[in-house]
């Protein structure tokens, strides 16, 4: 309660949350005794049931089928040689871990991280950009603030908006206000702009690898499992489906000493979750869409 600022309305709720915490703790300890490639740990979700966790952490809304456009180009299609490992964090293209709070805004954080990355790669300047501007101002598409959205639609908005404000100018509140709260064009400059976006060919981890070798990439995953709720460290190899519910940004990839290949994904749940806010997810798995559907709906901005 102290570490995560928990305040309960009465003793009955506190007792209920303590019971949930105890159940989760026992399940975590049981899992960690099983010799898996990754560990679970107590985090900010430890007083929540898995259903409650899913309610507050599901912010990815797949686009309506009627709105899906014809396939875009894929600029990395003919790339042949890629490095054995890439980490855009060490190359200065990744801002510090952010926290979306109790707001289904993962789509905005995923898109912004990808835009921050390509901007740094192209200009050499890393600027933390505003997720709140997307929540307040991206209201004409399928994106719906704290009620979820889609990264490709966010990229379209940034193009039409002629860029995005700096986070320092348009700070994150984790709330969605009425459209009239949008004040980007009248109040702030846009230090970063993009020219468009492209989709990575669906269900193709080889194509995804080519893209990530050149820039951070926005992806959606099925994050509903207990194991992902309490992921702490190691390479996530757990079982999960393809009910895409959460958005993250792949910022690298590599291979463990035992030969296990992995993606490095930046999350938006604060630095107390996972490996200081990041997760390593197994790469090159038998599943068509990649582990947890990570290769199903990937996209990246162009600049």
Q: Give the HSE-up count for residue 16: Cα atoms under 13 Å, Cβ half-sphere.
A: 9
Percent helix, percent strand, percent coil in the chain, to nearest 5: 30, 20, 50
| 106 labelled catalytic | yes
**296 token code pair:** 């199903």
Say if strands 38-40 and 231-236 run parallel, antiparallel, or are unpaired.
antiparallel
**Spatial contact of 219 and 265, defined as CB atoms under 8 Å apart:** yes
Nearest alpha-carbon partner for 135 in 34, 59, 56: 59
Q: Which of 137, 161, 246, 292 is catalytic?
A: 246
Helix (DSSP H) and strand (DSSP E) numbers for the chain: 8, 9
Tokens 């007792």 map to which residue?
15
d(CA 179, CA 1): 35
Q: Which of 43, 61, 143, 267 is catalytic?
A: 267
| 267 labelled catalytic | yes
d(CA 98, CA 269): 7
Q: Which of 106, 137, 146, 240 is catalytic?
A: 106
Nearest alpha-carbon partner for 101 in 176, 153, 170: 176
Burial of 293 from C-beta contacts in 10 A (0-12 / 13-18 / 19+):
buried
| 246 labelled catalytic | yes
Nearest alpha-carbon partner for 281 in 220, 234, 243: 234
Backbone phi, psi, residue 65, to 5°:
-60, -35
d(CA 216, CA 121): 10
Q: Hey, which residues are catalytic here?
A: 106, 246, 267
């Amino acid at each position: 309660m102290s570490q995560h600022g928990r305040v309960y309305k009465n003793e009955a709720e506190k007792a209920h949350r303590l019971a949930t915490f105890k159940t989760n703790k026992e399940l975590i300890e049981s899992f960690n005794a099983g010799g898996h490639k990754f560990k679970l740990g107590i985090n900010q979700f430890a007083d929540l049931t898995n259903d409650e966790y899913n309610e507050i952490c599901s912010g990815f809304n797949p686009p309506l089928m009627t709105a899906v456009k014809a396939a875009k180009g894929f600029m990395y299609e003919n790339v042949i040689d890629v490095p054995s490992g890439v980490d855009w964090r060490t190359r200065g293209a990744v801002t510090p871990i952010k926290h979306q709070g109790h707001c289904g805004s993962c789509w905005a954080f995923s898109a912004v991280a990808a835009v921050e990355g390509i901007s740094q790669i192209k200009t050499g300047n890393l600027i933390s950009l505003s997720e709140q501007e997307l929540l307040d101002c991206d209201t004409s598409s399928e994106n719906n603030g704290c009620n979820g959205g889609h990264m490709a639609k966010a990229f379209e908005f940034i193009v039409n908006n002629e860029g995005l404000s700096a986070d320092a100018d348009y700070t994150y509140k984790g709330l969605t206000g009425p459209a009239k709260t949008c004040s980007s064009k009248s109040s702030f400059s846009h230090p970063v702009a993009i020219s468009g976006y492209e989709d990575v060919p669906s269900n193709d981890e080889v194509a995804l690898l080519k893209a990530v070798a050149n820039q951070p990439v926005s992806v959606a995953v099925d994050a509903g499992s207990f194991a992902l709720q309490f992921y702490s460290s190691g390479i996530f190899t757990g079982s999960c489906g393809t009910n895409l519910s959460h958005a993250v940004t792949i910022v690298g990839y590599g291979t463990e000493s035992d030969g296990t290949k992995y993606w490095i994904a930046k999350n938006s749940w604060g630095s107390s979750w996972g490996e200081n806010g990041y997760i390593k997810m197994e790469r090159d798995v038998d599943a068509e869409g990649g582990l947890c559907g990570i290769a199903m709906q990937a996209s990246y901005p162009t600049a």
